[in-house]
Structure 1
Amino acid sequence: MEHTEESAAAPRRRRTGRTIGLIAVAAVLGLVGGTAVGYGIQAEREPTALPALNQPGLAYPKPLPKGQKAAPLPSSEDRKAKTDGDLRKLLLPRPAGTKKTEFSDLSDGWVPVSAYAREFRGPGPALNEQLSAGVRRIASTSWQTGKYRVTEIRLVQYRSNDTLGAQEHAEDQMAYMPDDDYARSEGEPIKGSANGHYYVFPVKRKAGYLDMYEARAYFHRGDIMVAIFIADTKKISAKDISSVAEQQLGRL
């Protein structure tokens, strides 16, 4: 008799509980037996010595031959020697075709910490904060391009202590840039810097006055925090501020 579609789809006969139990026992015996054989083989083999914990060949940096000393870094590669010297020499030189601002010669390139603090909205707290952070010295340069454009760069250096003065000061300044009174944006990253940003502010207009444009950049490198300002009565492009920031970064 031919099988119907219904009979072909009938379920298979189920295994009894005894059959399942036998299969389970056999599986367990196989696992235990295999493990026992494996241990037996290992026991008959000669022990393999472990590698030495102390491997001098992996030491880094490689020790110098006896009697030799490491040559000191050239000044061009020694950042500490560079930053411990005259900080003003690390400032970006005044570009050709520009002129000094009216305040350029008043401080000989140095800004007193008290004068720097007076430029903040809360001079007293700002001064206390800078002293607590271990501010060491501040170097500055500025120049004028055309009739109204002024560019200023400041290097704020901190002493080595348990605070990260340069990093924290840069981050504090960048933190309020998105506010309405400032750039109103998160800024754009400075090429070559892992932490810095530049900002182009919206134009400021007031009846009876020329339009005011502003751009800033902030970053830190080691123990030096860098602040760059450009102001003009004409539009300042992103390239204008980013170019100055990248050039100054390259000198640190």
Structure 2
Amino acid sequence: MPDGAPIVGPDPASDAPSGPRPRRRGRTTLLIATAAVLGLVAGTCTGFVIQAHREPTRLPSLSQPVVARAKGPGPEPLSAAQDHRVKTDGDLRKLLIPRPKGKKALDWAPEEDGWLDLGAYADSLTHADRVFGDLVAAEFRRAAGVSWSEGSTGSTEVRLVQYRQEETLGASERASRWDVDGARGYDVPGAGDGMAYLFDAERKPGYLPLYKALATASRGDIAMEIWIFDSKPIPKQKIMDLAKRQLERL
């Protein structure tokens, strides 16, 4: 090689081997893959052929067997102890606690033969005009009451007011809507929303002081209210006892 000649790559005309040649695998791999696919297709076709020659499996019937109706009389209607509506849909006056023996009915009591219609009940309350509309909206159905005098200055009034309760819970709403500002409130045992209230005396010149107590509660579609008025303080136990006795009858 002459001095100063450039260095170039290997001479393609040289007889010397340039290194080991790679083996060609493409054709063999393709043949193996094709055989595997053909085997899978053949197995699937064989499965369909076998299944086609089998008898179809019967499915269970969608219809259910008819159950024969039991013979004999139907079930007895629920008693009043089992069905609240049996009791409350009857004569509402029979659910009132009785007037104590020896006590006289109030001359000015709003009930007539134990019943109060919507107008009579509303007129017995403060703000009668407004209350009348409230009672209509609350789906007033009917009311019953009993009252008696206590000595020369006291009186007691017990009322049961029933509501239709087709769209509103009139009984429970009414039992919680009394104006009891400033009164001392006590829970009535055995009644979820039962409350008893003792009010401070109302005093006016020339008149005896007026004390009052109130008990309210609801059972189903009936709202209970008990009022006691007197010129002397009313014991808490007195209003509580009346409330318990009346609730036991509902």
Quote the Cα distance in structure 2 between the aligned partners of 1:247 and 1:230. Answer: 15
Partner of 2:156: 151
Partner of 1:190: 188
Partner of 2:214: 216
* CA apart distance, 1:229: 0.2
Matches within 5 A, 1:49-128: 66-67=70-71, 69-104=74-109, 107-128=112-133
TM-score by length of 2: 0.67
Quote the Cα distance in structure 1 between the aligned partners of 2:205 and 2:215. Answer: 28
Which amino acid in the other structure matches residue 229 of structure 1?
W
Partner of 2:201: 203
Which amino acid in the other structure matches residue 205 of structure 2?
A
Which amino acid in the other structure matches residue 239 of structure 1?
Q
Which amino acid in the other structure matches residue 200 of structure 2?
P
After superposition, the Cα gap between the structure-2 partners of 1:104 and 1:159, relative to the gap in structure 1 and judged at 3 Å, is: same
Q: Tell me the SS of whatever aligns to 2:108.
A: coil
Q: Tell me the SS of whatever aligns to 2:216.
A: strand
* CA apart distance, 1:165: 0.6
Partner of 2:53: none
Q: 1:169 aligns with which of 171, 174, 183?
A: 174
Considering only CA atoms, is the larger Rg found in Structure 1 or Structure 2? 2
Quote the Cα distance in structure 2 between the aligned partners of 1:132 and 1:216. Answer: 24
After superposition, the Cα gap between the structure-2 partners of 1:80 and 1:171, relative to the gap in structure 1 and judged at 3 Å, is: same
- Give aligned-pair identity as a percent: 41
* CA apart distance, 1:237: 0.3
Question: How many correspondences in the alignment?
Answer: 181
After superposition, the Cα gap between the structure-2 partners of 1:123 and 1:211, relative to the gap in structure 1 and judged at 3 Å, is: closer
Structure 2 unaligned spans of 5+: 1-68
Greater helix share, structure number: 1
Partner of 1:4: none
After superposition, the Cα gap between the structure-2 partners of 1:99 and 1:121, relative to the gap in structure 1 and judged at 3 Å, is: closer
After superposition, the Cα gap between the structure-2 partners of 1:210 and 1:93, relative to the gap in structure 1 and judged at 3 Å, is: same
Quote the Cα distance in structure 2 between the aligned partners of 1:119 and 1:206. Answer: 21
* CA apart distance, 1:67: 4.1
Quote the Cα distance in structure 1 between the aligned partners of 2:111 and 2:127. Answer: 24
Partner of 1:238: 236
After superposition, the Cα gap between the structure-2 partners of 1:106 and 1:120, relative to the gap in structure 1 and judged at 3 Å, is: closer
Partner of 1:14: none
After superposition, the Cα gap between the structure-2 partners of 1:209 and 1:100, relative to the gap in structure 1 and judged at 3 Å, is: same
Which amino acid in the other structure matches residue 141 of structure 2?
R
After superposition, the Cα gap between the structure-2 partners of 1:105 and 1:219, relative to the gap in structure 1 and judged at 3 Å, is: closer
Q: Tell me the SS of whatever aligns to 1:215.
A: strand
Is the aligned partner of 1:139 residue 2:144?
Answer: yes
Matches within 5 A, 1:13-52: none
Contact 2:140 2:163 in 1 (8 A): yes
Say what the alpha-carbon RMSD is for the aligned residues.
Answer: 2.0
Quote the Cα distance in structure 1 between the aligned partners of 2:161 and 2:173. Answer: 12
Quote the Cα distance in structure 1 between the aligned partners of 2:238 and 2:175. Answer: 20
Partner of 2:34: none
